[in-house]
Chains A and B, each alone.
Chain A
Amino acid sequence: MRSDGRKVDELRSPLKLRVGVLTEATGSAYLEWGGNRIIVGVFGPKDAPPHFTRPDKATLRVDYKMSTFSSKEEHGRSAPSRRSIEISKVLREALSKIVMLEKYPQSQIDIHILVLQAEGGTRVASFYAAVAALIAAGIPMRTRAFGISAGKVNDEIVLDLSKEEDNLGQADIPVCMDMDGNVLLFQLDGKVKPEELKKAFELIEGKKEFFDKMLREEFEKFYSQEISHEFRVKE
């Protein structure tokens, strides 16, 4: 049993996705996941400036940012930190694999991610929200995808660490996967044994249908235009 009573593979709630929340972006999504609140806007494909142009495919740009008030602790800096620069890079690399960039040579697609409120696991939550925003933008994708952070707490592998678990945790393993279980993003901080990593991958892949279903259900509403495009932080 975990400190907040969840089962080892139980995700934090709320876990709610909304697409089409912004009017100026080509596609957008808003995700509430535990204490995380993340908004993503996608622009493009549009002509790339000459120094970005690639003859064979589109250039993908990802900009991940935390709001200055996203943490319970001190006021954050507004300039990009080393952490957010690294997260932008690994997210860009993960998304590049599944976005059909070859459909848009000499173009550019921009993904802007803003973490309004953070409570651990923001990079994998941002990844999932970005996938939703890309689909909402009508950009062709090879597959749908999702992400979860696994962790090791009290020598046990669990999914989706709470803040309290993260503080006591022995390892943090953010992973993003496509629907075939291919690993698109993988980082590890801490110490785990090989069999524990295997267990983490299994638990994460076990959630793929759940995340796929959430995407499909939200897009059914989106395409049937049952949702208003008004943005609200609390649903």
Chain B
Amino acid sequence: MILQKEEILKHLRKEGLRFDERAPYEYRPIKIEKNVIETAEGSALASIGDTVALAGIKVEIGDLFEEGKANFITSVELSPMASKGFEPGPPDERSIEIARVIDRGFRSAEVLALDKLAFDDKTGYTIFLDIYILNHGGNMLDAGYLAGMAALSTLKIPKVEDETIIRDEFLNIDVLQNYVTSSTFATIEEFHLLDPNESEEDVSDVMLLLAVDDEHIVGAQKMKEGSYTQEQILELVDITFKKRKDILKVLKGDE
């Protein structure tokens, strides 16, 4: 159901609630299923409401782009089965933006110890993190971050012998050193809506993604044509840190 801006605003002003009865800073239900793909070296399925993202990791070996640091490459595919609006074909600006924003967050937070995954200055592992959006109900960025983070938390590094990967033997090393969580907001006039659904995204004036670790902001992206005041951004940063605890609980599961 695609709702008009006026209806959404009327409901917010009258009830203080969104059309699906959520409070402005309330997520839809978040679910994570880890280790779902046996052919991958790490994987997870994440859903936020109707939005579903599947992340899988493949590990390769090769020349390094940066001296002494393993390669880490994130890609996002908006599968055409996820929405009427998605077409098969090479990545468009939307999927490239999502992939780059997610990549920057994981890199800035040093989620993986990439230095431990280099063999020497020039050669080492390459980690391919690929995220497929399978169903689009709004807020693909947070769903992508969740699936990607959950998949990274399951990553196993295969052994290498004579410059060949042994696919079913794994190293006993811990390369996960941080967790990133993210919050995306869609702003419609004076209302900031956390975890926007598709209608809210469509009618919003401006959107903001914030990614954080325990102490730092590790990624941010303002989207759409509107603007924020500095105070507004700082307020949303505060909300993002507050929401981190709940998301971490789901991410870490029963660990």
Which residues of A approach B to under 8 Å, CB–CB?
22-25, 28, 35, 37, 39-41, 43, 63, 65, 67-76, 78-79, 110, 112, 114, 116-119, 230-234
Contacts and interface: CB of A to CB of B under 8 A. Distances in A.
A63 B80 contact: yes
Contacts of B60: 74-75
Contacts of B83: 24
A25 B130 contact: no
B59 to A, nearest CB: 8
Interface string B65-93: 00000000001010111111000101100
Contacts, number: 106
A230 B134 CA distance: 12
Contacts of B90: 79
B38 A22 contact: no
B33 A232 contact: yes
Given A71-B39, A114-B79, A233 B137 contact: no
B84 A43 contact: yes
Given A24-B50, A37-B37, A232-B33, 20 more contacts: A22-B52, A24-B136, A41-B80, A41-B81, A67-B132, A68-B56, A68-B130, A69-B40, A72-B39, A73-B167, A74-B58, A78-B77, A110-B80, A112-B80, A112-B81, A116-B37, A117-B37, A117-B40, A230-B31, A233-B45
A130 to B, nearest CB: 11
24 contacts: A22-B135, A24-B135, A24-B137, A28-B81, A35-B38, A35-B39, A37-B37, A40-B81, A41-B79, A65-B88, A67-B56, A67-B130, A68-B56, A68-B58, A68-B75, A69-B128, A72-B38, A75-B58, A79-B90, A112-B88, A114-B134, A116-B56, A117-B39, A231-B134
Interface residues of B, number: 36
- Majority SS of interface residues in chain A? loop
A74 B130 CA distance: 13
Given A43-B84, A71-B39, A112 B130 contact: no
Given A68-B58, A69-B39, A112 B79 contact: yes
B188 interface: no
The 9 A-B pairs with the shortest beta carbon distances in the complex, nearest first, are A41-B81, A69-B56, A75-B58, A233-B36, A69-B40, A112-B81, A112-B80, A68-B130, A75-B128
A155 B91 CA distance: 46
B209 interface: no
A39 B50 contact: no
B187 interface: no
Contact of A234 (B33, B50, B91): B33
B137 A23 contact: yes
Given A78-B77, A116-B54, A117-B37, A69 B130 contact: yes
A230 B30 CA distance: 12
A146 B77 CA distance: 29
Contacts of A231: 45, 47, 52, 134-135
A14 to B, nearest CB: 12
